[in-house]
Amino acid sequence: MPYSEDRSAWYEGQGLWAHVPASDWQDWVWQLKNRLTTAEQLERHLTLTPEEKAGCAFANQKLAVAITPYFFNLIDRNDPNCPIRKQVIPRAGEMVISEEEKIDSLGEDEHSPVPGLVHRYPDRVLFLVTDRCAAYCRYCTRSRLVSNAQDYNFHPEYEQGLRYIEAHPEIRDVLLSGGDPLLLSDKKLEHLLSRLRAIPHVEFIRIGSRIPVFLPQRITPALCEIFKKYGPIWMSIHVNHPKEATAELKAACERLSFAGVPLGNQSVLLKGVNDDADVMKALVHRLLRMRVRPYYLYQMDLITGGSHFKVDVRKGIEIMRALRGHTTGYAIPQYVIDAPGGGGKVPINPEYVESVNDEEIVFRNYEGKTFRYPLKSTPKKVSNPELIPVEATIYQ
């Protein structure tokens, strides 16, 4: 059955926590303190499947479990296949390690000149500033270090990282990530942003964060003031399914936008979550309505224990084909594979070009109709021959 949704509805409310004062509910520190982190806590509200129970028992060796009350409300508790549930409640599949999977599948540690800094592309760096997140995604690319369940012992070295960036004038773009940078205190974040802003060669500063999705309460007016002060700060949020696009997320995106933060979205293509053209279309439409431009759709990285989430690339290409031409160009993300071992992000597109030679390019449009665009000019008529310089060789 094709996915359908009530397009006018934006989920909101305190759900299972209706008894809690609104002032607590809207307080991000309260949300963090009241996260669900154990199988017992989850079972107070829903029945875990045997698969999930096994996953929870194993999670502490891989990636901790944590779900904010706000995000937990989005789970359909009667549906073991709920796309929100699959993202945050572990399943036994996490214990299956496949041959091709790696702890550090993108070779980030090899490209790391100082702890927490990945310098892969010539002009930009990835600055991992914390190993904590508001909630943990079961398919996390950095599960080796995030939540510290694997004793990776991640210690971001802000000062070393900043000095490296200061000493490398070729770095014009700094991407703060982690973990989730917005879990840092306002004070720490302001310190980092002010230091980065003071480096003349750093033109572009951006933050990758799933906080607006897991913990929209964190997007406070005080935080927005910091973004205004050191802006432009760009932000990539991380929404995978239209159900995550709630009234609270929409309001948080509005606060960010009005503080001058341009917003993009990164999704990971996940089996049973968003590997469906109708779901993807509903998602990107909701994003545009929240002032968020879809940026990347990632083929999942080859992380350990991730195979139960893996989607065939051909399915991803089919989804991209279902978007192009069928919806607003702004709604269409770039589908990429982050090349295993550290080759960077490479676009994987449906093929529209049928052939190209010196004469012409032949291609198909979104309806599958063939078109041609000539590459050679063959003059038929010259309107004002006397204006053409004598050395012109246009006449044959």
The residue ranges that bind ligand PLP (CB under 6 A) are 118, 120-121, 124, 126, 175, 345
CB of 358 to ligand SF4, least distance (A): 46
180 interface partner picked from ligand SF4, ligand PLP, none, CB below 5 to 8 A per type: ligand SF4
Site size for ligand SF4 (CB under 6 A): 10
- Alpha-helical segments (H) within the chain: 22-25, 28-33, 39-43, 50-59, 69-72, 83-88, 158-167, 186-197, 211-214, 221-230, 247-258, 277-289, 313-323
Nearer to ligand SF4, 215 or 319 (CB): 215
Q: Which of residues 176-205 bind ligand SF4 (CB under 6 A)?
A: 178-180
52 and 81 Cβ atoms separated by less than 8 Å: no
Residue 137 binding partner per list ligand SF4, ligand PLP, none, with a CB distance cut-off of 5 to 8 Å that depends on partner kind: ligand SF4
Please list the helix, strand and coil fractions of the chain in percent, rounded to the nearest 5, in that order.
35, 20, 45
197 is catalytic: no
- The answer to whether 346 and 305 are in contact (CB under 8 A) is no
Query: Could you tell me which residues come within 8 angstroms of residue 103 by beta carbon, excluding any fewer than 6 positions away?
Result: 144, 150, 304
DSSP type of residue 177: E
133 is catalytic: yes
Spot the catalytic one: 133, 298, 310, 335: 133
Measured from the CB of residue 91, what is the shortest distance to ligand SF4 in angstroms?
16
Which of the stretches 75-83, 172-180, 269-277, 287-295 binds ligand SF4 when contact is defined by CB under 6 A?
172-180
Member of 71, 136, 227, 309 binding ligand SF4 (CB under 6 A): 136
Residue 146 is a binding residue for ligand SF4 (CB under 6 A): yes
In order, the DSSP letters of 232-270 are -EEEEE---SGGG--HHHHHHHHHHHHTT--EEEEEEE-
Report whether 235 contacts 209 (CB < 8 A): yes
Q: In the bound complex, what is the minimum distance in angstroms from residue 347's beta carbon to ligand PLP?
A: 10
- Is 206 a residue that touches ligand SF4 (CB under 6 A)? no
Q: Which is nearer to ligand SF4, 99 or 151 (CB)?
A: 151
* Contact partner, 146, from ligand PLP, ligand SF4, none, Cβ < 5-8 Å per class: ligand SF4
**Alpha carbons within 13 A on the beta-carbon side of 221:** 0
Nearest by Cα to 184 from 207, 160, 163, 165: 207
CA nearest to 297, candidates 278, 307, 284: 284
Q: Which residues are catalytic?
A: 120-121, 124, 133, 137, 140, 142, 301, 338, 345
Could you list the residues that contact ligand SF4 (CB under 6 A)?
A: 133, 136-137, 140, 142, 146, 178-180, 210
